[in-house]
């Protein structure tokens, strides 16, 4: 499976941004897809995920109420709609695919290249 993330950029605090992740290749065993982020000097952390079969979604506390993860299976694309962005959201955002939710959150996953999100205050 291959993942290609895009949509990052420089925005101001309070703005919204939508990230996209195209999932391609042998995706049958990659039921869990999600977004992580890594800020400078910090560990990579889970942001949001979903199950491609069934559509269940799950979020980190920092994302609840502000971020929405969704998918368009006709385009093999997973989105992360981010709103009310603040400086603490500045990070490189990565999409990842794994066999299960447990694997995903344990970072036992296939990773795409990251996309930089910078929020200016």
Whose CA is closest to 97, among 121, 69, 120?
Answer: 69
Residue 36's nearest CA partner among 119, 121, 104 is: 104
Give the model's pLDDT for residue 73: 86
The pLDDT score that the predictor gives to residue 29 is 80
Each residue of 16-56: pLDDT tens digit?
999 999 999 988 788 999 999 999 999 999 999 999 888 89
Of 86, 114, 89, nearest in space to 21 by CA: 114
From residue 52, alpha-carbon distances to 8, 76, 98 in Å are: 23, 10, 11
- Determine the average pLDDT of the residues in 87-100: 97
Q: What is the pLDDT of residue 43?
A: 97
Task: Report pLDDT digits (tens) over 52-83.
Answer: 888 899 999 999 999 999 999 899 999 999 99
Tokens describing residue 36: 């992580």
The band of 14, judged by pLDDT with boundaries at 50, 70 and 90, is very high
């Amino acid at each position: 499976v291959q993942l290609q993330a895009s949509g990052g950029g420089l925005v101001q605090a309070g703005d919204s941004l939508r990230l996209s992740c195209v999932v391609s290749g042998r995706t049958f065993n990659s039921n869990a897809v999600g977004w992580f982020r890594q800020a400078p000097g910090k560990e990579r952390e889970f942001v949001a995920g979903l199950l491609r079969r069934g559509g269940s979604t799950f979020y980190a506390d920092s994302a609840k109420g502000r971020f929405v993860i969704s998918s368009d299976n006709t385009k093999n694309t997973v989105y992360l709609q981010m709103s009310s962005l603040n400086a603490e959201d500045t990070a490189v955002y990565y999409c990842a695919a794994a066999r299960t939710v447990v694997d995903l959150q344990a970072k036992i996953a296939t990773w795409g290249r990251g996309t930089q999100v910078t929020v200016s205050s």
